Chains A and B, each alone.
Chain A
Amino acid sequence: MAPTLREIDVRGTPVRLHTDGDGPPLLFLHGAGAGGRWLGFQEALARRFTLRCPVHPGHGGAPAADWIDEVADLAFLYLDLLDTLGLDRVHLVGASLGGWIAAEMAVMASSRLDSLVLIDPVGIKVEGWIYPFLFGMELPQVVTTIFHRPEAALALAPADQSLDTLVELYRQNAALARVAWNPYLYNPRLRRRLGRITAPTLLVWGEHDRLAPLACAEAWRAEIPGARLVTFARSGHVPHLEEPQAVAGAVSDFCRRVGRAA
């Protein structure tokens, strides 16, 4: 089944939204570079949830929103999206940048979440670790930083090298840079706030993550009350792309088991 694609007006900002499946509502927030994609991980989740995947403004060919200046702005955008859709509570899953956005949403409005799943999120400062600066890397180095299995990166390859595609990729990179250039990939205020999260939380981590290694997972686990950590041995920074079925299974089971409204 192909997901339906709609454009939703969220308090004046157009948001592209993919929807598919049936079951309890689950909102998935993609990472940088995966906007607008519908991949195996999403297909698997859509078998057990009503899955909604917004495309971050500026990503995946979507128009940028010039008022978005920091990741918290994206968090407010998606809380507004829940209101627009009339969703009181959801399971919230975010990967990498999407995990950062999800964590910002959780510290703002934990009561809206049936559960929270963060897949290799960035977004907090971890002592002794400086995130490698992806903006300065050429593509092959980006791939080896993000993927443990580089062949999984093919799913994110651009359709072509046309002018339009190159401009869209530049826009996507700019949308990420706008919110994450400096401080690079974190909000200095976020870590202190994580203790506010009351939703049951699962941390999913690739054991070979070279962008945010396992030491980062420990920092997140220490800050979020009751958070559990599950790791994947054959993955780097994007286990949901590298081991999609196994990760989708773990996420589904967790949401089903602990979800407050499930």
Chain B
Amino acid sequence: MKFYYFHLMPYVMDHDEPSSWVTLSNRHYDPALGHTLYHQYLDQLEYAETLGWDGICVNEHHQNCYGTMPSPNVMAAMLVRRTSRAKIAILGNGLPLRDNPLRIAEEIAMLDVVSGGRVVSGFVRGIGPEYFSLAINPTHSRERFYEAAELILRAWTEDGPFPFDGRFYRYPFVNPWPRPLQRPHPPVWCPSQGSTETVEWAAKRRFPYLMVFTPIKRIAQIYAEYREACERHGYTASPYQLTVNLPIVVAENDAKAREIARATALWVYHVGLRMSPPFYQPPGYVTEPSLRRLLANRPKLPTELTFEDLEEGGYIICGSPATVRDKLRVFADELRAGIVCSGMNGGSHEKTLEMMELFAREVMPHFREDAHVDETAGVGR
């Protein structure tokens, strides 16, 4: 199994406002504290490589306290020169959120060349509130996503210059310098929320699929659909096309781990993901079939989840090293996923580093039967 260290770079704070997204005033953001936090978070990502993680992950979110990485490529740029071995997974760039996605092709290519071919390029649509924050028409989201993805992939793989004439993006000369180092292009991953259309789109292209912060039952269902779609397209999905993505809390015993998780993991759901109802599903962001599926089996809102829901529903893994090993094994077996993508929060920077050390020492070595395998070979392209 491969391990990726995933960071949200949250601005952890308490507040009574109805939404942590879009409307939570940035007067709450203290740049001096932000300076400290950014450095701690980057230290954690760099330390993950030292401790043996296979990859480190950044991601894009806008105008909220949940994750303070409006530009994941900027963060990746800081990491490429401070690391030498780990994959750097950008999970991902919000393609429809850009008015000029050729810039993404350029930026990822730069990172890939500088990093010596260590970049994993996630393509995402961005979640609902981002369409409010960046004023992008959500009814165009899906079409812009497909069109931008096509543009970027062609820009990476075809000799330029060539013209591109889409509905949203038009260029007389597509000819980005540099070209990416990885051939034919950096692996593309699709973090998504499980819409039928995206599952199909990713499976067809062998793009790994991952769901973030979702109960294990739903992940299992979507991953089954993904595997089925892969078969329909004439191949069997590699385990490295499916990722378990969830927070892990490990401590010397179960009780201690629970105590930490109650204090740290709940914040993500109760505060970090708190948003006004209109922001969840902006008009036209989901297709009607996906909306029907969602409404027919409506999941609890993040703010409605109790700690027991998180633990029992498989939103998080928490416990002693032995417990975490057992749970991880169950997860891996149930989902047949080859990559675990998770962040940790011990409650402070120092405690987080200790937790990472404990995990690297007591958990990771038990899952290393595939240490010699390159998880990006043959997938994502």
List chain A positions with a Cβ less than 8 A from chain B. 133, 135-138, 163, 166-167, 170-171, 173-174, 176-178, 181-182
Contacts and interface: CB of A to CB of B under 8 A. Distances in A.
B135 A182 contact: yes
A218 to B, nearest CB: 27
B284 A174 contact: yes
A135 B288 contact: no
A178 B276 contact: no
B283 to A, nearest CB: 4
Nearest to A137: B278
Contacts of A163: 292, 295-296
A174 B278 contact: no
Given A137-B278, A170-B288, A177-B282, 19 more contacts: A135-B278, A135-B282, A136-B132, A136-B279, A138-B276, A163-B292, A166-B291, A166-B295, A170-B281, A170-B283, A174-B283, A174-B284, A177-B137, A177-B138, A178-B137, A178-B139, A178-B284, A181-B283, A182-B137
Interface of B: 22-23, 132, 135-139, 276-279, 281-284, 288, 291-292, 295-296
A78 to B, nearest CB: 21
Nearest to B134: A182
21 contacts: A135-B132, A136-B132, A138-B276, A138-B277, A163-B292, A167-B288, A167-B295, A170-B288, A170-B291, A171-B288, A173-B283, A173-B284, A174-B283, A174-B284, A176-B283, A177-B137, A177-B138, A177-B139, A177-B284, A182-B136, A182-B137
B182 to A, nearest CB: 36
Contacts of A167: 288, 291-292, 295
A31 to B, nearest CB: 16
Given A135-B283, A167-B291, A181 B277 contact: no
Nearest to B135: A182
Contacts of B132: 133, 135-136
Contacts of A171: 288
A163 B295 CA distance: 7
A167 B278 CA distance: 15
B86 to A, nearest CB: 39
B137 A138 contact: no
A88 B202 CA distance: 52
A182 B278 CA distance: 17
Contacts of A133: 132
Contact of A136 (B136, B139, B276): B276
A122 B284 CA distance: 21
